[in-house]
Structure 1
């Protein structure tokens, strides 16, 4: 059982928000991953990318900007986005406070593709050069994630 009020998240203070994995590290689900991501306004969850598998995103609270296939859409509480395999996308925190999102996805066997996106670049969420190598795509992102405990329910503070 996971109680997010007691769980440790990992957080990068500069990008990526906070991540609560909802599966044990020692025995992750074989076929899919599930986590809760907290994004503050301006925080992208990743770089603009596409995967060879489907994903799903459910906004539990707050607002985020979905950039999908070079289009922007605002998602609010209880909005759900089903992302078919091969769809280019990223989420960026929006609104006045944190956005909490449940993220579910099949485990990809194929490499993740990171295209260059002018729209995502406005939010610091585009790879500098098109690549399928994560270390190249994320070369400019800070690499240190620190364990933190966030207060639940979340307030608008960082």
Structure 2
């Protein structure tokens, strides 16, 4: 089941707060069957401007320089993606980004895998992902939904 979020965007008009947009998100992609990604909002400066920057959804994030984005991700079970982990080998979806990520598990459960270990995350858990090599493994029978705020970062 595809779950596409509703996005409500506020703004100002004549000095008064208004709702500028209230609609189902249209910036949605499915890079693998059941892997739904929607980049809800993006900025390309810090401090951020109130204008939205539309960016192309990618399976692996590409955060704008000095910017951020807010990402909705629905991750199907590994078995539905045909992912099979091989003992002694990195997870097939292992990747690393140059971002500081705040991730909240909204529903379901998923394993966060890093180079040396893994941990099971459940609804309500929060991850602070600091530019490390990682992968997500959904070993359950249901999709996992997570929200992530990704900030451009550097490792000095």
Deviations 1:76-132 (A, max 9, x none): 1011111123x211112232211000111113579xxxxxxxxxxxxxxxxxxxxxx
Relative to structure 1, the CA distance from residue 24 to residue 105 in structure 2 (aligned partners, 3 Å threshold; closer, same or farther) is: closer
Q: Which residue of 1 aligns with 2:76?
A: 40
Larger deviation, residues 24-33 vs 101-110: 24-33
TM, length-normalised to structure 1: 0.55
Higher-Rg member (1/2):
2
What is the distance in 2 between the residues matched to 1:56 and 1:68? 16
Which of 99, 111, 115 is equivalent to 1:65? 111
**Aligned residues between the structures:** 107
Which blocks of at least 5 consecutive residues in structure 2 are unaligned? 1-5, 9-21, 44-51, 55-63, 84-91
Which of 96, 101, 110 is equivalent to 1:55? 101
Q: 2:75 touches 2:144 (CA, 8 Å); kept in 1?
A: yes
Q: Which residue of 1 aligns with 2:144?
A: 99
Q: Which residue of 1 aligns with 2:7?
A: 2
Which blocks of at least 5 consecutive residues in structure 1 are unaligned? 111-158
Q: Which residue of 1 aligns with 2:122?
A: 76
State the Cα distance separating 1:7 from its structure 2 match: 2.5
Q: Which has the higher strand share?
A: 2
Which of 16, 21, 37 is equivalent to 1:19? 37
Which structure has more RCO (C-alpha within 8 Å, separation ≥ 6)?
1
Compute the RMSD of aligned alpha carbons.
Answer: 3.2
